[in-house]
Amino acid sequence: MSAALRNAWLDAGDPIRAERNARLLFRFAVAAVIAACTYYGVTAKTADPLHLYEGLLMLVLAAIPAIRWARNGGQQLPIFEVFMLTTANTYALPLLNGHESLRMYPPELISSAGFTVLLFQVVCILTFYGVRGRPGRTPFYTDEVLGGDLTRFVGLGLTITTIYTFVSIYTDLIPQELASIFRAVFYGIGLVSIFVLSRQTGIGLLKPQERAWFIFNMVSQVTMMFSTLFLVGGVSWLVLALLGYVSGSRRIPFVTLGICVAVLAILHNGKSSMRAEYWRADGFRKQAEFVELPSFFTKWVEYGVTTVPGNDPDEEQQLAAKLLDRTSLFHLLCLVQAQTPDWKPFLNGETYWGIPAQFVPRILWPDKPLAHAATSTMSVYYGLQRIEDTATTTIGFGMLIESYVNFGMFGVAGFAAFFGFFYKQVHARCADSPMLSFAGLFTVVLMAWSFQTEAPLGMWLSSMFQACVAVMAVPFLLRNLFGR
């Protein structure tokens, strides 16, 4: 990377403009939190005033790191800030919205669960801002894995990911036994490419033709992912691109964001009708051919526009419950606290024992424990599943709940302190790392993994390790095969 490009990257192109954007983003973030607290202060569906105060405090604590980053974060990636923001939708909002499952629990239990979340947030934030870290000085932190033009490298990676997406969805060229390996490699390449290019777009480093090519590839990949009738993959790409753009520009693209939200709302509204047409009860899923995509999405939009929510109250209620269950973990925290330790003893680290095994390649240990073994253990322990059910379906508890299941409040506090310290060390050591250094690539992966709210610790660590290997192996091999 040239010195001029490096300076532009670090200084966000125009320091004065960057400072102005930071002030505006800070004011918007503060206003958004005040507006959210005011809204829920009036409309919250909480049975006890204490629950309202707990929910609002959770919301504020979840947003504080992001607000501080908006004002003072420089050009560092908001990895800790994203991690803390996830506590808003997983714990605060379900409490304030009156999650249906909370009706089964007495007010004092809900209050106890709220206190547990607040304990985690406070300890995590105090640890992160209270400990110190030093910038990394080894080649891992300071040297780029590849020299040359950054845009050309990540642009090629994005193009290759688009080709892989087409091949994996619309052809049978990839052998089934190699599908997971290809998925890990190209998911990692796409993750880094999308984030870096969206961040460059925000900073203003992309030429018009480069920006157009980036948008074309993004739209192509998201469209192909949506054609599977699973929205989560395409949405994760859009969220990643949004984070990259905001981290570079310190501005929120309201127009683009509004268009994306409107399109997603229409598609989500028509998703059940499309699945009823393309999916059978026995699990068979018909994939629309690539040449059929125009008519496929035309039909989907028609379903989304003409389907009126509320015509079938039972169906709409079930869909809403499923959607909320995918993001809410607060009701599961109430479940485990209702039974532990009064009826069921703490597991005392049982779900953590298998973590080292996850770092051994399955090719060397074919019978090693499954990555979701901890989730299965908790699901069976609390009577949510039978052992045979865990082979096909998993219930996400998340790391906070897992820490309570093992060691109670001491486990929650220890988990919060560990992650606060971990994120602070990454934040400090990677502060000056180039984006295409090993450390820079690691921070991009870590920020993406901060969204993995339902994974237990073992699955979170092992899947992130696999992604890091996939992301770092490609540039490492290119450097050693072809040189800098």
Q: What pLDDT digit, counting tens, does each position of 100-139 carry? A: 888 899 999 999 999 999 999 999 999 999 999 888 888 8
- Whether 11 is in a domain gets the answer yes
State the average pLDDT for the chain: 84
pLDDT at 282: 58
115 lies in the same domain as 136: yes
* 398/393 Cα distance (integer angstroms): 15
pLDDT at 149: 59
Q: Which residues are CB-neighbours of 478 under 8 A, at least 6 positions away?
A: 146
In which residue are the tokens 């192509």 written?
A: 220
Assess whether pLDDT exceeds 90 at residue 391: no
Assess whether pLDDT exceeds 50 at residue 320: no
pLDDT at 4: 38
In which residue are the tokens 């047409």 written?
A: 277
pLDDT at 125: 97
pLDDT at 74: 60
Assess whether pLDDT exceeds 80 at residue 249: yes
- Whether 353 is in a domain gets the answer no
Q: Which residue has the higher pLDDT, 51 or 362?
A: 51
Q: Which residue has the higher pLDDT, 151 or 460?
A: 460
pLDDT at 7: 41
> 425, 428, 421: which is closest to 126 by C-alpha?
421
Q: How many CB atoms are located within 10 Å of the residue 362 CB?
A: 12
Q: How much is the average pLDDT of 442-469?
A: 86
In single-letter form, the type of residue at position 140 comes to F
Assess whether pLDDT exceeds 50 at residue 317: no
Q: Which residue has the higher pLDDT, 484 or 261?
A: 261
Q: How much is the average pLDDT of 134-146?
A: 84
Q: Which residue has the higher pLDDT, 437 or 112?
A: 112
Query: How many domains in the chain?
Result: 2
- Say if CB 470 and CB 386 are below 8 A apart: no
- Whether 161 is in a domain gets the answer yes
DSSP state at residue 360 = S
Look at residues 267, 296, 323 and tell me which one is the last residue of a structural domain: 323
Lowest-confidence pick of 2-16, 164-178, 332-346, 404-418: 2-16
Look at residues 277, 296, 323 and tell me which one is the last residue of a structural domain: 323
* Phi, psi (degrees; rounded to nearest 5) at 437: -80, 165
Q: Which residues are CB-neighbours of 373 under 8 A, at least 6 positions away?
A: 351, 354, 458
pLDDT at 6: 43
Please provide the distance, in angstroms rounded to a whole number, between the alpha carbons at the two ends of the chain: 11
121 lies in the same domain as 162: no
* 187/469 Cα distance (integer angstroms): 12
Assess whether pLDDT exceeds 50 at residue 189: yes
Q: How much is the average pLDDT of 29-41?
A: 94
- Whether 376 is in a domain gets the answer no
Q: How many CB atoms are located within 10 Å of the residue 461 CB?
A: 18
Q: How much is the average pLDDT of 349-356?
A: 89
Most confident of 227-241, 297-311, 462-476: 227-241
Assess whether pLDDT exceeds 80 at residue 481: no
- Say if CB 2 and CB 231 are below 8 A apart: no
181 lies in the same domain as 249: yes
Q: Which residue has the higher pLDDT, 458 or 19?
A: 458
Q: Which residues are CB-neighbours of 354 under 8 A, at least 6 positions away?
A: 369, 373, 374, 458
16 lies in the same domain as 84: yes
From residue 137, alpha-carbon distances to 9, 52, 131, 285, 342 in Å are 20, 47, 19, 51, 50
23 lies in the same domain as 80: yes
Cα-based torsion angle of the residue sequence 136, 140, 142, 147 in order, rounded to the nearest 10 degrees: -170
35 lies in the same domain as 116: yes
pLDDT at 105: 92
Q: How much is the average pLDDT of 33-38?
A: 94
- Whether 404 is in a domain gets the answer no
User: Helix and strand tally (H, E) in the chain?
Assistant: 19, 0
The answer to whether the bond into 309 is cis (omega within 30° of 0) is: no
> 376, 429, 426: which is closest to 405 by C-alpha?
376
290 lies in the same domain as 180: yes
Q: How much is the average pLDDT of 32-41?
A: 94
Range 410-436 burial, b when 16+ CB lie within 10 A, else e: ebbbebbbbbbbebbbbbbbbbbbbbb
168 lies in the same domain as 119: no
- Whether 361 is in a domain gets the answer no
178 lies in the same domain as 298: yes
* Phi, psi (degrees; rounded to nearest 5) at 285: -120, 120
158 lies in the same domain as 130: no
Provide the CA 351 distance to its chain's centre, in angstroms.
Answer: 22
- Say if CB 105 and CB 99 are below 8 A apart: no
47 lies in the same domain as 127: yes
- Whether 473 is in a domain gets the answer no
Q: What is the pLDDT of residues 204-218, one digit of tens each?
A: 888 899 999 999 999
> 236, 201, 218: which is closest to 159 by C-alpha?
218
* 212/59 Cα distance (integer angstroms): 37
* 185/190 Cα distance (integer angstroms): 9
- Whether 390 is in a domain gets the answer no
* 68/86 Cα distance (integer angstroms): 16
182 lies in the same domain as 255: yes
* 97/100 Cα distance (integer angstroms): 9
Backbone CA torsion sign across 372, 325, 276, 292: negative
Assess whether pLDDT exceeds 50 at residue 10: no
Confidence of residue 153 (pLDDT cuts 50, 70, 90): confident
Domain that holds residue 14: 3-140+409-444
Q: What is the pTM of this model?
A: 0.83
pLDDT at 12: 46
Which neighbouring-strand residues pair with 279?
285
Q: At what angle do helices 254-278 and 293-306 cross, to 10 degrees?
A: 100
